[in-house]
Amino acid sequence: MSKQIQAIRGMNDCLPEQSGLWQWAEKAIREVVASYGYQEVRTPIVESTDLFKRSIGEVTDIVEKEMYTFADRNDDSLTLRPEGTASVVRAGNEHGLLYNQQQRLWYLGPMFRHERPQKGRYRQFHQFGVEVFGLAGPDIDAEVIALSARLWKKFGISEQVTLELNSLGSNEARETYRKALVEFLLARKEHLDEDSLRRLESNPLRVLDSKNPQVQAAITDAPSLIDYLDAESKEHFHALCERLDALGIQYRVNPRLVRGLDYYNRTVFEWVTDSLGAQGTVCAGGRYDGLVEQLGGKSTQGVGFAIGMERLVLMLQASGAEEFVASPVDVYVTAMGDEVELYALKIAESLRDVMPTLRVQTHFGGGNFKKQMKRADKSAARVALVLGETEQQDAQVSIKFLREDKPQIRIARSELESTLVELFSL
């Protein structure tokens, strides 16, 4: 026997036992974004490597060590997208959707990062995100946060997530802060690891984002960005907090929150949870007013977030949300004997004509009553239609209840549709 080929490490299959929950979550997301009037964009999975270098920043985990980059047959450098924002901005610029316009957009799809796979961290993972363009005020920051909060509510996991909030201020304010931070870090050089020392030179704010506990301990008393904010950013942050308060959305101001990507300014936020172990961030986002211009467009404000779908699904599994996922089959149609097969086949097709939302599965492969009922049970259907020669001769149908303590009933074929409509409240 030849050796079986396995999936790439960190890239998962989504099997039937999980896909129901994924579809349920995706449907809820679509409903929520629609309720805010957001529209979907779909961009390619592969982009020019430069797009991510220029947007995410050269001195970030993603660009330094996580991207899947390769030369294609023309020797162009391409990269599997590690996140969604850069692609959406690229598409918006390319098709003239951004300048002097307002856009409320969303996307959902696979992203790729070469990280060490572990629970909640994979090499192919999925993000749902929103990106809003052309709105400068704190009201839209509050809206995208409210949209994310609505999702937790819809999923019944509001109790498990906490909103962390910070402001990065303007570029000038960050520059002043940067100087103060460098001074602080230089005095503690011996406690920094290799990554942090390098970042101290190139991008010192990134040191605050270090995941090394020793580095984190050394910087507990680092100066706070929030003390360096410019007056306008302060006002923006204050107005955002006011709106969140008015909406009853609780938050914790975390002056250490800088985010792992370079393009943010002013508002940054994360929804974090204790229920995922080390991978505690389920949603992250913020404002990125400079990005559109940085990628060659005319200056346009932007704000958005991304949710890690695998982390969300892990939380949903832990909270027992699978209960809400409907079984894939409502009605299992059996046929007792070769003679009845055509009768069964026609009934199944006619049910799909009349009740398109009813999930009908037909038994194939013959077998006795016991075998067919075993299959019916395994399908997780609520009822089985038991069709034998007598049923066919008398133009009748027997309905056997597979999950309820109710006796089997026999009805006229002509009453089948109305009986099922009532039974399944269609």
Q: Is 310 in the site for ligand ATP (CB under 6 A)?
A: yes
Number of residues written out for the chain: 426
Q: Which of 24, 29, 83, 97 binds ligand ATP (CB under 6 A)?
A: 83
Q: Is 145 in the site for ligand ATP (CB under 6 A)?
A: no
Residue nearer to ligand ATP on the CB measure, 218 or 257? 257
CB of 350 to ligand ATP, least distance (A): 45
Q: Is 281 in the site for ligand ATP (CB under 6 A)?
A: yes
Q: Is 115 in the site for ligand ATP (CB under 6 A)?
A: yes
Q: Which of 258, 284, 314, 381 binds ligand ATP (CB under 6 A)?
A: 284
Q: Is 12 in the site for ligand ATP (CB under 6 A)?
A: no
CB of 220 to ligand ATP, least distance (A): 19
Residues 6+ apart with CB under 8 A from 17: none
Cα separation, 325 vs 321, in Å, equals 7
Stretch that binds ligand ATP, among 44-52, 70-78, 281-289, 344-352 (CB under 6 A): 281-289
CB of 84 to ligand ATP, least distance (A): 9
Q: Hey, what are 83's tokens?
A: 């996140």
Stretch that binds ligand ATP, among 142-150, 278-286, 353-361, 408-416 (CB under 6 A): 278-286
Residue nearer to ligand ATP on the CB measure, 309 or 360? 309
CB of 86 to ligand ATP, least distance (A): 11
Residue 80: enclosing H or E segment and its boundaries?
Answer: strand 77-80
Residue nearer to ligand ATP on the CB measure, 108 or 348? 108
With H, G, I as helix, E, B as strand and everything else as coil, classify residue 266: strand
CB 213 within 8 A of CB 198: no
CB 171 within 8 A of CB 228: no
CB 330 within 8 A of CB 382: yes
| Torsion (CA) 373, 377, 382, 387 in degrees, nearest 10 | -20
CB of 304 to ligand ATP, least distance (A): 11
CB of 319 to ligand ATP, least distance (A): 17
By beta-carbon distance, which residue lies closest to ligand ATP? 308
Cα separation, 209 vs 188, in Å, equals 16
Residue nearer to ligand ATP on the CB measure, 285 or 388? 285
Q: Is 330 in the site for ligand ATP (CB under 6 A)?
A: no
Q: Is 164 in the site for ligand ATP (CB under 6 A)?
A: no
CB 88 within 8 A of CB 43: yes
CB of 288 to ligand ATP, least distance (A): 12
Helices 231-246 & 138-155 angle (0-180, nearest 10): 40
Task: Name the burial class of residue 307, with classes exposed (0-12), middle (13-18) and buried (19+) by CB atoms within 10 angstroms of its CB.
Answer: buried
Residue nearer to ligand ATP on the CB measure, 279 or 396? 279
Size of the site for ligand ATP (CB under 6 A): 18
CB of 77 to ligand ATP, least distance (A): 21
Residue nearer to ligand ATP on the CB measure, 141 or 310? 310
CB of 27 to ligand ATP, least distance (A): 20
Q: Is 81 in the site for ligand ATP (CB under 6 A)?
A: no
Cα separation, 426 vs 420, in Å, equals 8
Q: Is 125 in the site for ligand ATP (CB under 6 A)?
A: yes
For binding to ligand ATP (CB under 6 A), which residues are involved?
Answer: 83, 113, 115, 120-122, 125, 127, 260, 279, 281-284, 306, 308, 310-311
